[in-house]
Structure formats: structure tokens, C-alpha cells
Structure 1
């Protein structure tokens, strides 16, 4: 396509500022010969980097919003790079500064680079689509340069670079914004600013619905009046496990298994079904590169997930309770570099049912929860480095590091309601009427001696979540308490008082005879979610002194306070007595 053909498109309203046949040029070295308007456009690249050279191969129409220009003198280096790369022309938008700066006009005139003004009413997408429609009739042999660029970016991935460079290549080559989202709608990589949260969640939900329906990719959808194409970037092989059990799946849209919960999706703000075959092939190659980047990232998570495997095995073992703190502490320190103490964490346990009570594969839930728990901002930020994940039968088990108490946040913990909202939005179209995903969350574990109790607490919260109405439910330790207490009014008052007297009587008698505070100690211990350090701090005791008091309580009542059932019994007795 020649430059004059683009300027002849009256619907675009483009204005040529530099490039008329009468324009003088101070520096013609490297400028394509011939009349400026006869120069050919072989590609479109949108660029607002101050140094865009590494993305240019020559022959491009470069579109820029001028975000890089801050004042006189900035244009010279930018134009020099375009000139040396053999760019055909530069089109500058007037939105950022109200007009094209004269500094840029002078620089383009010095280097003989045609400059076009793009009025605010004309979008870069309209220009790109106009050019691409003409370029679709190009000689397929001209793709050789693009293929070489793709191979060059493949080499970038050998150092486990993020996929942003690959997506930037596609954006600059085809002129469309490209992003990678997780199945929960979180943006993993790509164009900035990110999509609005509602738009991203809607795209992820549409993707999961299309995958569950067995539709072939890419999936073409419209959200907010804009067309999008969604291309799967499958999860690495370990996540893609089959659902156990023989026989066909009793679902109107049979699908082998819900591995899509762990997928990423490449989102292109365009309908790729209208693209020429060479462009679609370039998109396929880009997906392969993003998959390579994802595999490298998953490999980097191996050490943390090994930590989860070893920790879970230790908690399930017959190791004496007094040895658990030392072994867990050394296990954590072996992986969490630079941490000389047991990191404060919470357990998250998830299970799901689909297709008439078949379990959702725990490996797929693990990846889904790893994405859903990520929270870059807020009072309790969680990064990928804060999550260690594994599977336990048909359940996913995650260990999530959370920050310690501060003056602003005395007891920071995961936001159960926000997690439920994110998962509900993502799975709204994927879950069928009889399907469900349930999650249980423990209290924060300040020391390894509480780890077994916290894991048990998360499993019990999972049971409460599973019994609750709704397709996606998240429950925590406070829900366990409210569940038990909600049942107390159903028990006759006389029976409640008799139960409290039988369970708490030995403690009241001991306190009366020996002037001790065992009952107060028990109440505080339960109020602190059985945390030794929190309870000791509140009672102004040394932890060893608290352990002696708890041991006395257990001896007098013949109950084991390490068991959740015992703690709930005591809680009910205290509320009834």
C-alpha cells in the first residue's frame, strides 16, 4: 500500500504535515528513494516508547500518541531511530497535546520522514484496520520478515522473560491491543492500562463457558459493544488430569475434563476471523511463545509447591506434636529464602463437584485458586511468591503467606468475601445448575505448633461451605463459630445449662478453691482461635505458662483442646452457661 493511498482515504481525515514533494530534507541518508507519497507501507506499528527501534524492521507506518514527548528536543532522538529503521511514515495523534508539536515537525523535516497528523476523532484502530484490509492482498512472501522477528523474540524467552515482549511484538505488528488473562480475569501480561475489572471478568467467564460447551477456538465475543477474540493458552501438562470414573459425562455439552480452569487466555481486541491467513498464523505462533513463557514461570513455582507437598505430608504423619514446630520451621526455611522464623500463613482448602457429583480435579482447582488468591494491592497483598500449592486427594490445598500484625491492621487475613466474588464472577457461566466449588480458609497460623489445628479448621470450614447454598462458597473460622452458635437456640435451655455445668464445672470449682483463672484462660484461648502467641500476649503470660494452664484445663475436663470439636464444645458451653 502506498502512502498516498492512505491519505486519499477521506473518511480518516489525515493531514500530511511533512512529506510533500517540495519539502526540503537536511539528511537523506537511509531514506527510501522516490517521491515521499509513493513510499510503500508494509506494516502498522503503534508505539509510545521513547526508543522503539527494536520493534521496527522497515516499511512500517508508525502510530504514536506522543506520550513520550514532554518538551522541545525530545523529538530528535525518536525520529532519528525511525529514520534509521527505514520507517515509511509517522502518524501522530493530536489528543495528548492538542496538536502535533512543532518540535516533531522540525525533526521529521530534517530527516525527511513523512509526518501525518491524526485528528482526535480518528482512532488508531480505524487507521490500522484500513491499512490491514489493503495489506491482506500482499504477497505472502513478505511475511518472512515477521517470521524472523518472531524467532528473535522466541530467543528472548530463553532467559524466562515475561510474555509482555511477545505481546508487544504482536501489537506493534498488527496494531491491536493484546493481553493475557487468567481464568479468573486477572491480567497476567499485555497492553496497559489493563481492561476494566468487569470487562476482564466477563471475558474470562465467556471463555470458560465456550470451553465447557466444547466450542472450537478462537472464541469471538462482544463485550461492552467491542469485539474480542479469545485464544486458549493451556496450562502445563501436570494440571491437565482426567476426571476419574468410567462412563460418559451426563452433561448436554460433554467435555473431557475442566482443565480450562487452569488456562490462560490470549485476548485480542479484534475479530480475528476477519484476518488474513498469514496474520492468524502469526497469532498462533505468538500463543506458542506465551505458552513457553508460562511453562518457564510454572517451573519457577516448583520449589514453593514442593514446600506445600512436604508440609502437608508432615502434618498428616505420625510425627509427635512436640516435633512438628521444629520440622515445619526447618521445612519452611529451606525454601523461603531469608526467613529465619516460621512465616505467618493461612491454609486454603478447595473442592468441587460437577457432572452429577463427580469431583472437579484438584489439580485444576489448585491453579484456579493460585490465580484467584493473587491480590497485588489492599491491606493484605498476596503475590505469586506468597503461595505454595499442592493436592490432597480430590482437594486442593494452598499455603498462603500473609503479613504480620501492624498498627493499621492488627490481624491481617485473606478477604473471604472478595475471594468469593472473584470466583463467582469467573465461574458464573462455567458452572452448571448442579455444580459447585467450595473453599475453606483457616485462621492465620502465627507459629508451626498451630499448623495441624489450622489445617483441620480449613477442612471444617470447607464442610460448612459445601453445605451452604450457592454455586461458589467460601467460608472461614468465623463461619464455624456462627454455624455452631446458630444451632444453640434449637436446644432447650435446661439442656444447655446442664451441658455447660458438666463441661465447665471442674474449672469453676478449681478457680474457686485455688483462686486461679482457668476459665478466663480458656475463654481467651478460644477467642484467639487457639493461637498460643496471641493468647499469651493478651494474658501477659509467657507461652510456657500458658501451656501449663491449658494442660491443667485438659486434665480437669478430660478434653483435648487440640481438637476442633473440643474447642467448639467449650465455646457452646461458655455461651450457654
Structure 2
């Protein structure tokens, strides 16, 4: 946005006269600035109408050529030379230098103060800004109506027509979703920009062989829907930027409609799941709700628990994965984890859902899966999945850990119970380990074989490769070291076997295997 020199010349009250480069009057002036320095270039940004009386300028042709050269290099739009003070008339050498360099040179008569010229420029700029606001206010309702009736494609068309530019809507992968003109392609500058970034909400503008390109994110909160790209063969105006931002908002809202509905449904489903896993809803009522939501329950249900990545983000990622596979999300946060309902026997597996969610989260997560349950066993399914997820985290396993695979292992690998078992092992088994170290015996190994063979002398001695009398002798030493423990008691044998499952030799070597 600027004031054409031709408009200023037509202002009869200013009485400006063109002395050089009359063909350059289509140039726009973005500011009028009075300055008398011999070298004003360091204080200029380009596009100015420089007003001077030539106070420090001589009529020497070399000096005039250097002066004009510096102004052209600084990007000055034109020079207004005031006569009647330092110079009675504009030096011919300055006129010649300006004509040669293609720099418009205007004569400002003595009765016309510089402030009048500057005021005319500023008032015209303000008027243009107001006209731009009025123009935008007329275009925005048309653009909104286009969104209501024609969606994103209609918004793109209205933006392109209103700004006389080329507009393309790109998705996350850089593919064209809508364009106007219809054959418009995304400029290379927009494709090189990569996916939208949440940190930069304003349009990114670049200039190159494709002209001027503005790339505006299409985003609502943390959710991005692509990029809106506007390409022009001119400098973009504030109105262009205003309309581009409005169009991006309309396209984002259009994309959000189904997602907002899905989010609301997920919220309702989460409340239902809270009741199901809490045991406060009947199986028949649960069946009706799940059936109405399109959730298959013929073969029963499973609960998948994800640890890590944050419950909210994990539920969003899982919800997207399930939506792409035609399944509704029934999920809720529970103790820092995300709990999700899955249909048993479905083609969508827990591992598939977990892997997809991990890719979206880009963070480490551990997953546990309950056994198959009917709708009346929601609380039990949740407990199983939580325990299995704890095991997955303890193992550092990226594979989903099914609860059924934990038979005989759960107490030893769950962090909470393992701490208790380690304490038990250090109390009961340390005397045996000390005796073995001091005398070169195998009491710990013998006790493990005896317990794992359910107190069967023949089977345990065969496993050790010793005579049963040797094993009996060793067990007598074990009894003595353990305070005459009754190894015939099932409770004592169970406690010792659990202790052995968590036993670590001094120095950290795990003997639980």
C-alpha cells in the first residue's frame, strides 16, 4: 500500500512539477521524509519521497551523480527538491543525473511547505487503510457464506478471486485438497516449508521465482489441518493478510465440525466406560449402549491400558487410530494411564492400536491387555490390564503384554510386590547364601529344586543329579539355618518359592530365573 506519484502530481494545491523520469510516476510512495544530509541513505528503508532543499548539495555533476546513485541504491521512490532557499532553481546537473538513473525528480515551489507534502502522503495512506478495512469487511461475509454453502473449496475460490491471487490448500502431507484457479499448484517455497508448526501462527511470507508466497497454518488449538498458500506477483497488502487469516479460520472450522462431534461423543463414551469399569452399570444397559455406538461385543471385551505419554494425549492418539478403523473410542484416564475398551476377537488388535498410538505420540509407552471378559466383569478387566501394563514397563517391553501370559510371574515382576518379595528373600535366603559361600555347598539350588518339584524327593534329587539321601541331608541343613522351618507346610514352601523368585545375590546378580 502506497501513494502513487501521479496522485501527488494531480494535487493542484501542492503545485509539484516533474523535472525528471516522468515515466516513473506509477511508483508508490510509502512515506515522505525531509532530510538535508549529504548522504541520507543510512536513514532510509526504501519507498520514500525524499524532500530536500539541497542545503549540502553543490551543482557539481560528479557530486550530483553520487548523490542520486546513493538514493537509487537505498530504494528511494522519488526526490522532491524545494527551490527558493538553498537554490533558486533545481540544478541542471541534478536533473540530468536523475533522468539518467531513472529517479523521478519533482520541483517543490517555495510557497509549498514540505509538511504539506508529507501531510498529503500520510492522509492518503490513512485513507487507503480505511478503504482496505471497508473492502475486507465486505469480502469477509462473502467468504463466510462460501464456507457455509461450499466448504473449503468455496473459501479457497473466494479468497483467490477477492485478492486476485492463486490459492492452494494443502493437507499434512503436502497434497492439494483445494485450489483456485483449479489447475493451480503449490509453489516450491510452500512445499519446502514442511508441516505446520504450532509455535508460528502468523503467515510466513517469502519472495522468489514464484513471486510472493504467503503460507498460513490452518489450525485450531493443538490440532493442525494443513496449510493455506497464497501466491501473488506483487507485494501483499495488509488486506491480503487479513483475508488470508480469515480464510484459514473458516477452513479450520470446517475441518473441525466432525472432529468436535467426535470429541463430544468420546467424552460421553468416557463417562460410560468409567461406570463400566467401576461396576456401576448393568451388563444389559452396557450392551445396549455399546451396540447403539457400533461397538462389537459379541465375543466379549478386553481392556487395554497404556502407560507413558500422558493419558489425554494417549487417548487422542488411540481415538484417531480406532476412528480410522471404524471403531468408536471408549477410553478414560486412570491413575496416570489411559484405559481403552477393545472388542475381543476383532480384526483390530491391541498391538496394532498401540503401535499406531506410539507413532503419533512419539514417546515411549507400555501396554497391558486384560483377558477376555463379559460386560459384568469390567472392574476385573481393568485390574488385569493395569497389572499387565506395569509388567510391560518393568520389562521395558514394546510388545503388548497380555494378562494371560503372566501366570506364575505377576508377583515377581510387578514393581510394588517385587519390593516386598526382595525384602522377604534378603531376610530368609541370606543365611543359606552365606553358608554356600563359606562351605562351597549348594543349599539354595537344592531348596529351589525341592520346592519346584512340590517336595517330591525322587524328582528333586533326579533334577539335581544327587541321591535322595543327599538331598534329605541338605534339607536338614536348610531347616536348621532357617530356624527349623517346617518344609512340609504348603504355606512355608509357597513363601520360600516366592522369595527365591525375587532373590538376588549380593552384588546384584539376579537368581530369580
**TM-score interval for Structure 1 and Structure 2 normalised by the shorter chain:** 0.3 to 0.5
Q: Which has the higher contact order (CA 8 A, sep 6+)?
A: 1
TM-score (norm 1): 0.37
The normalised TM-score by structure 2 is: 0.41
